[in-house]
Every structure is written in structure tokens, then in C-alpha cells.
Amino acid sequence: MKVPTEIALRTGYTMPTLGLGVFENDECAEACKVALQNGYRMIDSARYYHNEAGVGLGARQSGINREDIFITSKIYHPEFGYDSTLRAVKDSIKNLGFGYYDLYLIHSPLTGKANRLATYKALQEAKAAGLVRCIGVSNYSGKHIDEIIEAGYELPDVNQVELHPFCQQRPIVEYCTKRNIVIQAYTPLVRGAMDHAVIQGLAKKYEKDAAQILIRWSLQKGFIPLPKSANEQRIISNGKVYDFEIAETDMALLDTLDRGADGAVTWNPVGAE
């Protein structure tokens, strides 16, 4: 199956189908520069990780036009609330050093319904003001998105969740797919599980490395993977995933690895009240 290099969002903007996730460290700017100079066009940052300024610096150093880069950030729950969210978005833009974000997400559903909705309303205002082009959520289950719908707010463009063969988030994926909400996959490389026999067997079969198999699985499932790395060669290798196809039988084999919530390797707060 041919996987596109970008997809259209409900807003009409296009988003690349592969992005770089970045760490909170001094290597962030260099990682972004390397990624952008080697074909990546999307960078995923977050206020919690204090890497917005590094992303902006790396983007400028890359020589790639800002309009050709899709940059995301997220507001973390201590800043949730209407007024504080608007302040946070403006601070994020100051950190980035460019006038807007392509996508801005609510990092988690923590702190309760009222706070979630006030934060989302503020993101709608930020979008109307041109500070962000698209808005979305992260770690949301269907019930959290139902709150947005019931409040009469616009649907999120994106829901970013932990997603890989061991934690496939099937109820969330089904919910979002029915509503044309794009699924971004964080932790697509399953920290420490790449030595699994199935993954290693497929890597050998396709003459690819384990990370490329995991990223390609995500792409063929219709997700937008966001692999993290600060290593130049690994960043480049992780981007070389459009030149092969995993057979349907092998995709099905990877699908059998699902352990549901037990397969999560990060905080995965999708069940928050």
C-alpha cells in the first residue's frame, strides 16, 4: 500500500505523515535541524518539555522556509483554564520565535471536565486570532471528546496518543476514525521492546531495522508516527520508511502483539475522569 507523505486536515491545512518528537535537552535544536535538512517537515514539541525555543532555533538553522514546516506544541495541565491558556499560547509563540503554530494540543485530560473545556475554548479563540492554525487534544478517550461535542465546540483536528503494536488503543482509534480526527502516535518505537522476536524477524525479512518496521506499521495503519531521537543517523534512518511495504499477513502478525492498556510504556492517562 502506498502511504502519502502528507494528509489533509478538516481545516484544509495539510500535515506531514511523519514527524520528529523532541526531547528536553541541549540537543533539541540540532536534532530539529538535522531532521529538517533530511526530509522531515513536522516537529512535535511541548511546553512541559521546555523545548519550544530549541525547535524554533533548529528550524531557523535548517534553512527551510517556516511555511514548509508543521510545528506542534501542547499546553500542560498546570496551565489549564481559559485565561492561562491564552497566556500560554502567546508565551509558546514567543519561545518559538515565529508568529504562529500549525497545531496546538491539550497535553492530557487531567484536572477535570470544566478545566478541559475552558482550555479548549481558549484554543478556539487562539485559532480565531491566527495564533494557531489547527487545534487538538492528546491522551483523550472518546468520552473526553464527547464533552467537546456536547459543549458545541469544533471537533479537534488531532488526538495524539501512545500507540504502537503493544498498545493499539483500539476504542480510541475507532472513535476518532469515525469522526475524521487524525491519530498521531507518540512512543511509536516502544522503548525497549524493539528486540521482540516478531519485530526482529520482520526487520530481517524486509532488510530494515526494527524502528523502521514499527514506524512503517504505524503509517500503514493510517496513524501519524512521531519517533523521538537526538542521534543524527537514527533520525535519518527513521525517515526512510516510504520505500517499502509490510505485507498484510505481517501487519496482522504485528497486530497480534496488542496488550491493550497493559502494553503502554508511558503515562497513558486516557482513562482520566
β partners of residue 91:
none
243 secondary structure, DSSP code: S
* Number of Cβ within a 10 Å radius of residue 191: 10
Residue whose C-alpha cell reads 487545534 in the numeric block: 135
Backbone conformation region of residue 97, classed left if phi is above 0, alpha if psi is from -120 to 50, else beta: left
Residue 196, annotated as binding a ligand: no
> CA-to-CA distance for 241 and 178, rounded, in angstroms?
27
Contact 168, 234 (CB under 8 A): no
Does residue 49 carry a catalytic annotation? yes
Catalytic residue among 13, 40, 49, 101: 49
Inter-axis angle of helices 82-96 and 52-62, nearest 10: 30
Q: Which residues are catalytic?
A: 49
Which residues are known binding-site members for substrate? 107
